[in-house]
Structure formats: C-alpha cells, structure tokens
Amino acid sequence: MIAVTPLVVCALVCILFSLIPTTLGFASGFLRGLLIGLGMGALLPLAHGARKQNVPRKILWLPAAFLSILLVYQYLTFEGMLSIPALYFLNVTVVDSRHMIETSILTFLSCLLFITRKPA
C-alpha cells in the first residue's frame, strides 16, 4: 500500500491538472500550483515528514510569509493595480508559470506547517 499511494496521488494530480483550463490567466497557474502543493503535502505523513521533532516550524513561517507577499504582489501587477519599476523582474505574464511554482511551494509549506502544528 505504501508503494502504491504516491502513484495514486500522482495520477490524481495529473488528471485534475489537465482539467484546469489555461484560459483563466493568473488563476490557472495559481490553481495548478495549489493542486501540485496539495499533492506533495498529502504525501508528507507517508514519508514521516510530519514528525514534530524534524520540522523547524519557526523557520518555515518566514518563506511561507515571503511567498504569500510575493504572490499578492504578482497578482496586483498582473491585474494592473500596482507596478514598482525596481521589481519588474517579479512581474508575471500570462505565459509565465513562475507563480504556479511559487504557489506549489507555498501550499507544500502550509501543509507541512498544518500537519506539524501543536494540538490545542
């Protein structure tokens, strides 16, 4: 069962990935990145990556916060609401998939932080 689970998750992500239309612009890449990140996050318990002693939670909040700010900035520049000339290299075009990768990593970090949270 352990050997089959990653293959099933991969197949599920691939099927759902192909169902997301590319005509949605920024939202298309964001949804695809979210799907990839959730797929990776679903495999964390299987890989024993959710052990509380293995995860430096305080450090992981920093890149998650940075990626959140970056994605908001990219969305605002994509919609034409904000433009900072010094940060032109962060701007996203329709054919660019950087925000999909950033969203994947952010979702994975969020899953990791959620799984390793301290119980209330």
The per-residue pLDDT string of the chain (120 residues; one tens digit each, 9 = 90 and over) reads 566 777 788 888 888 888 888 788 888 888 888 999 988 888 877 766 555 556 567 777 888 888 888 888 888 888 888 888 888 777 776 656 777 888 888 888 888 888 877 776
- Confirm whether 120 is domain-assigned: no
- Confirm whether 77 is domain-assigned: yes
State the pLDDT at residue 49. Answer: 54
Q: Which of 11, 32, 13, 45 is nearest to 98 (CA)?
A: 32
- Confirm whether 33 is domain-assigned: yes
State the pLDDT at residue 24. Answer: 82
State the pLDDT at residue 17. Answer: 84
- Confirm whether 18 is domain-assigned: yes
Domain interval for residue 49:
5-115
Instruction: Decide if 107 contacts 33 (C-beta within 8 A).
Output: yes
First-to-last C-alpha distance (Å) of the chain: 31
Distance between CA atoms of residues 25 and 62, nearest Å? 28
Element (H, E) at 34: helix 26-42
> Residue holding tokens 């430096």?
56
Phi-psi region of 23 (alpha: psi -120 to 50; beta: other; left: phi over 0): alpha
Domain count, the chain: 1
- Confirm whether 83 is domain-assigned: yes
State the pLDDT at residue 3. Answer: 66
State the pLDDT at residue 1. Answer: 58
